[in-house]
Amino acid sequence: MVVVAALAGGLGCGSGSGGPKPAENERPGRGGELTVLAPAVPQSLDPHRVPDVTAAMAHGVAFRQLYLHVPERTGAVPDLAAGRAEISEDRQTITVPIRRTGRFGPEGGRRITARDLEHGLERALADREAGPAARRLLGAIEGLGPVGVWRDIPGISAADEDRLVLQLRVPTPEPVLEGLATSASTPVPAETPRVLGSFPVGSSVFSGPYAPALDVPAPLARTSMRLDRNPVWRRESDPRPAYPDRITFQQEARVPAAWRTLSGTGFVLAPAAPPEVARIARRRDDAGLLAVAPLPVTRYIGLNSRAPELRDVHVRRALVAALDREALLRAAGGTGALASHYLPPSVPGHDESGGVDGTGAAELREPAGDPRLAASELRRAGSADGRYDGPALLAVRGGSKTDAAMARVARASWRPLGVRLRVEVLEGAALRTACTARTSPYAVCLSASAGAVAADPAVLLRPLARGRAGGRVDAAMAASAELPPGELRSRAWSGINRAAVEMAIGAPWRWDERPLLVSRDVLGVVDERLGAWDLAFTSLDARARRAAG
């Protein structure tokens, strides 16, 4: 997994194509067509709104950014940037040199300048859908305005056509640099009217190696999208090889699509293989059909330390100790790895937290639960008989069948302790707020998750632990946020991770993984940050293409 810890040193280091080297028996071939089978196909491509994995796969080949993460490279490499970002001595000014070779297409071919990148950043920050993630990374920029308002931001300016300058309120350039290696830095023509939302078909905003075809019949456009070569794109100016001539996204139900990928040719499955197909692919995998991508996501059952019933840490530890986390993993489909703390293997601080073995916390040693330890913790909380004698705990979960199954596991795990749950069901943003807000009325969140888009421990741990693990942890998080990527930052956030475990603010039970599938003649390359196939590096095997022809 490419991690943010390498970003400050790697961002802008060289401009070669990078990427993985094929094995001796693999020969990436230029040309041909890849077909991406997915449960849903993007109806349009927006420079900054990337709502799901399939859209992200398309975005990665239709647009360019200032910097990119490419497979098997530590840190980001320049894309539209002409080299390393310069950081001022006071760490509050970032200057990015801009290439002169990037162009908008498919029509027009106008050169991309710093003004277009300024325009794009301001649009991304103002967008209601793309803005929250962009602001988490770029929030240190001076003059960042209210949510949903698209206006000139004083801290973002084009010094001239070839230099973008970012002024920061605080000396924390690292998350901002990481933001420049995401879709937030996708350029938009500066003359584009300031209207948020998708651009109309035929707009000249596509800067990547491919652009949507305009000749797809209307009935097919609802279930498919074809990306053809962008005529203004030049291979020598882009770190991505972009092997195929054409990439077609086709809508098909997940399970039939997986079987078709397994038995067909030229297919890429998005986003993940169903477990039953993945098992068969694993047995047949002699040509790289299957890959397992770790994701920077931790699933956990959240315990609200502000709830009156759970203010005693020993009560919370009892709930963690009694929980059958192996049963939770099975209820969720059996995929992923059993979590022993909050930082997954792909995030800095994981190894410093004990790796897969965990931090040593007694309540997480037994994956199937430890009723004796749970009873002991309740006695330490003042229970004479080692049972919970308080009121029912108000809990919240998502609305899926998996969420319902996990609620049943929690009830079964805690019932012997005398714990009763009163469960409510919420969806989407309401569920996320219920699981993380300081004023949440819920004692237990059965469907909590924490993710790090930038594979940064701060991005993952702050929403999870803020206000729940104690004032000392909050102060440590504030201090650690300003540390540059590297060993010191990893150790600091490992300590915060250990404190969150010690304070029993939840029960981590899964680190997410995604099984990925391609047809036998496809040489798939994984985008480990996205947890999906990287279409800019994936190709058809040259020998297989010749044999087919």
Structural domains of the chain, with CATH:
294-513 (3.10.105.10)
pLDDT mean over 94-100: 97
Burial environment of residue 276 by CB neighbours within 10 A (0 to 12, 13 to 18, 19 or more)? exposed
Span 111-131, average pLDDT:
93
| SS3 state of residue 141 | strand
Residue-wise pLDDT for 59-93, tens only, equals: 999 999 999 998 878 778 999 999 999 999 999 99
Alpha-carbon separation of residue 68 from 79, 83, 100 (angstroms): 6, 12, 17
Least confident of 176-180, 217-221, 535-539, 543-547: 543-547
Count of beta carbons in the 10 Å neighbourhood of residue 287? 16
The SS3 of residue 506 is: strand
At 193 the pLDDT is 84
Query: Where is average pLDDT lowest: 198-207, 485-494, 496-505, 530-539?
Result: 198-207
Of 204, 203, 187, the residue nearest 118 (C-alpha)? 187
| Mean pLDDT across 487-491 | 90
User: Percentage helix, strand, coil, to 5, in the chain?
Assistant: 35, 20, 45
pLDDT in tens, 11-24: 333 333 333 444 44
* Statement: the pTM of the whole predicted model exceeds 0.85: no
Closest alpha carbon to 378 in 316, 429, 325: 316
What pLDDT shows up at residue 4?
A: 24
- Band of pLDDT at residue 2, cut at 50, 70 and 90: very low
pLDDT tens for each residue of 341-373: 999 988 999 999 999 999 999 999 999 999 999
Closest Cα to residue 9, out of 144, 166, 178? Answer: 178
Dump pLDDT digits (tens) for 191-235.
988 888 778 777 899 999 999 998 777 667 789 999 999 999 999
Q: How many CB atoms lie within 10 A of CB 11?
A: 26
Buried b (16+ CB within 10 A) or exposed e, 518-531: bbbbbbbbbbbbbb
- pLDDT mean over 428-454: 88
The CA-atom distances, in angstroms, between 541 and each of 70, 147, 262, 263, 284 are 20, 47, 16, 16, 18
Amino acid 174: pLDDT: 85
498 or 295, which is more confident: 498
The DSSP letter of residue 379 is H
- 528 versus 190: the higher-pLDDT residue is 190
Share of the chain above pLDDT 90, in %: 65
Check residue 544 and give its pLDDT: 59
- Say which residues have a Cβ less than 8 Å from residue 200's Cβ, sequence separation at least 6: none
pLDDT above 70: percentage of residues in the chain: 92
* Cβ–Cβ < 8 Å for 488, 248: no
Q: In angstroms, rounded to a whole number, what is the distance separating the alpha carbons of residues 96 and 40?
A: 37
pLDDT of residue 6 exceeding 90: no
Beta strands 532-533 and 526-527: pairing type?
Answer: antiparallel
Mean pLDDT computed over 22-38:
78
**Cβ atoms 497, 342 nearer than 8 A:** yes
Do 311 and 483 touch, CB atoms closer than 8 A? no
Q: What average pLDDT does this structure show over 245-254?
A: 96
Write down the pLDDT at residue 12.
33
Residue 3 has pLDDT above 50, yes or no: no
Mean pLDDT of the chain: 88
